[in-house]
Amino acid sequence: MNAAVDVFKRNEFQGSSLDALNAWVAEVAALTQPDHIHWCDGSDAENARLTQQMLADGTLLPLNPETHPHSWLHRSSPSDVARVEHLTFVCTPQQEDAGPNNHWMAPAEAHAKMDALFAGCMRGRTLYVIPYCMGPIDSPLSRCGVEITDSPYVVANMRIMTRMGAAALARIGREGTFVKGLHSTGELDPDRRFIMHFPEELTIKSFGSGYGGNALLGKKCHALRIASHQARQEGWLAEHMLIVGIENPQGETHYIAAAFPSACGKTNLAMLIPPEGYRQAGWKVWTIGDDICWMRPGADGRLYAINPEAGFFGVAPGTSDSSNPNALATISHHTIFTNVAVTDDQEPWWEGLDSRTPALDWQGRKYDPANGPAAHPNSRFTVSARQCPSYSAKAEDPQGVPISAIVFGGRRASLVPLVFEARDWTHGVLVGAAMGSETTAAATGAVGVMRRDPMAMKPFCGYNFADYFAHWLSFGQADATLPKTALPKIFHVNWFRKGGDGKFLWPGFGENLRVLEWMIRRVEGKADAVETPIGHLPRAEDINLDGVALSDEAHELLFGFDRAGWQAEFARLGEYLQEFGARTPQALKDEQQRIAARLAG
């Protein structure tokens, strides 16, 4: 049987508007030579059939149907458990367009390398065609894609993470354009594993991995690396940010977009539960998204944002009833768990969940502490965002939500105060470009190594960081479409400042709402701040600290300003900006030098 020909005879979506898609599927089928081709419609019946198929062949394992109904466990290859940044490439015609922040390969060389891997790789397998939409299906901010894969596990995850199926295909038919993503698990051989991005071609090719970030091509590959390129061309922003709504007792909601590197509490902030006093007063928190944010100027000049994803692909370890009860409630049913441990009664388990001892580790072995953690440190859950108790219906608003504030943050044990506000847009872009986190001994063998991660986009920006900074700056230019007065205020936070005893000075978690309240009051012009060379800092009395016991040391370090320390920081920042060469915007360098001069004065 010629699978490619056979599918088009049966393809109910056939039509002239989809000729390009049909031709591409035929081309891929000729290259990969699958036994069968299946066009995914995203229906419940299709998902049920695929689930039963994966349960039958062991791709999925059942979990306790009473405590975790309609939930499954997937165990990946031990050599395939995380993103492979060193094997991830941006393939632009000119290397300088990819920039020093990306691995680069010439497009012709990359296509040849990948096509050699894909040749015949789907013999004996089914080729799945996944039409999907990133963002609400009717939103002008959304963008569509099609992923071709030989993994039913990928199909099941993409169904949760995107708007997948017939409605997405219909939009592709109307628009006539889509991002092309080709994926195969191959043999899961680490030596035959690459993820290639071709921004000018709106194309992704991924081979040799079944792991989420490498295989769910709608996520980091499309929604950030390719979309950031699209955003620059089309005048919007594709960012590694959560989106959260803060509703005050008067019923007014401000939406905040926030970028944090890994291990800095993005999901916890997106699903924040207000402290008791705030809850009693009527404060509410609404979750729009926990990972990716697309922002575009609206008709009124404000930035409007959508979460292009429909689900959460969250890290399981550390998630508990004390750290994030909303997340724990979200994953109590209809969830795919990957590389977690299981208890005797087939419940998913991971470090930080509770005090039980698991029966089997993430590889299916009898649990033995000598083998390391029971759950892989990067174990995951995939779940619909609609299951989150704090989920907002505004997540499906085609126009998006208006952003009042943009927040950058990192894990800094010293120097950086609890919160400060950028003076203006250009200063805010510098704050984002400078952000970073200090590593821990558990991760790197060295404590306090500061790694810069501009806008938390270091692994995900699909083009030269210098051009990326220039694109951000363009929104603040006088002749830009967006009026300066409508731009969100930009803030920086640091929940992780430590005292002399090495302990965190700020309680974090739900108490972070106190800091967000100050930001909102600054947006409304109702809160005071102290002017310093690094920006506007609150005094302790400017933040509602009722019920929070802070030591004298905590007051001094969380709300203080260390001039000498910031002088050294800005000297290092100047050296960092030089790494991006002649393309680095002069306005950014001028801003760094202006602040450095004020610090020296």
Binding site residues for substrate, as ranges? 83, 211-213, 262, 378-380
Query: Across 417-484, where does the E strand assignment appear?
Result: 419-421, 436-438, 450-452
Among the listed residues 343, 317, 344, the one whose alpha carbon sits nearest the alpha carbon of residue 331 = 317
CB atoms within 10 A of CB 279: 14
Query: Is the Cβ–Cβ distance between 274 and 329 less than 8 Å?
Result: no
What are the helix (H) ranges across 192-272? 212-215, 227-234, 266-270
Give the C-alpha separation, 243 to 308, whole Å. Answer: 11
**Integer CA distances (angstroms), 130 to 123, 158, 485, 569, in order:** 19, 8, 42, 47
**Integer CA distances (angstroms), 323 to 238, 271, 510, in order:** 28, 10, 9
Among the listed residues 216, 105, 116, the one whose alpha carbon sits nearest the alpha carbon of residue 157 = 216
Binding-site positions for Mn(2+) read 220, 240, 291
On the CB side of 488, how many CA atoms lie within 13 Å of its CA? 26
Known catalytic residue: 40? no
- How do beta strands 143-149 and 126-134 pair? antiparallel
User: Which element (helix H / strand E) includes 245?
Assistant: strand 242-247
- How do beta strands 489-493 and 419-421 pair? antiparallel
- How do beta strands 293-297 and 341-342 pair? unpaired
User: Which one from 40, 121, 221, 264 is the annotated catalytic residue?
Assistant: 264
What are the helix (H) ranges across 331-455? 425-434, 441-444
Give the C-alpha separation, 209 to 186, whole Å. Answer: 7
**Integer CA distances (angstroms), 524 to 69, 442, 493, 518, 539, in order:** 45, 42, 19, 10, 18
Give the C-alpha separation, 194 to 505, whole Å. Answer: 42
Tokens of 86: 């060193």
Residues acting as catalytic residues: 264
